[in-house]
Amino acid sequence: MRRRVLALFAVLQFALTGTALAQEQNAPDPAAAARGAAAGCPKLPAGSGLSWEYSQGPDFGVCYAHVAGSDENAFGIYFGYAPSFHPDQAKRIGDGRVAGKRVTWYRASNEDKPLPFARETLLKRDSGSVSHVWVQASSQQQLDQRLAILDQMRFQR
């Protein structure tokens, strides 16, 4: 009887160890999950020097383009159906392109203080959703470079 109990215990221990190992091997890798979510962000042109960081909300997602090797946010894109940005025609700056689609850029402000090298726009998507796109820069040259990247990138979804 004792041998049976020991054999049963050994089989149970083997089964539990195998299950734990399988679960550990299939456990989500937070870095892989972040890379997978960022994979839903638009495709950046080669040599842009930017990488995506993705943030998921309850019914929206936001892609942040960071300058490689820093925490500097070059631009961002909100994907959802209820953006908080509402264009003010008085802040209209001019036309441009995001991912090859025509947009109207508006001067961005921070608590009613204009930011000289910041722009934002809304882009209606084929899916019916709306993307709020904003770009920040420290000079006109940097702004022009970032706007060129925004024009060249392509949506994947």
pLDDT for 83 beyond 60: yes
Pair 103, 97: CB distance under 8 Å: yes
| Cα 16 to chain centroid, rounded | 39
* pTM confidence score: 0.73
Q: What percent of the chain has pLDDT over 90?
A: 55
Q: What is the CATH number of domain 39-152?
A: 2.60.120
Q: Give the whole-angstrom CA distance, residue 143 versus residue 51.
A: 17
- Delimit the domains of the chain by residue range: 1-28, 39-152
* Residue 23 neighbours by CB under 8 Å, 6+ apart: none
Please, which residues bridge with residue 130 across strands? 80, 124
Question: Which burial class, exposed, middle or buried, applies to 68 when counting CB atoms under 10 A from its CB (0-12, 13-18, 19+)?
Answer: exposed
Of 157 and 120, more confident: 120
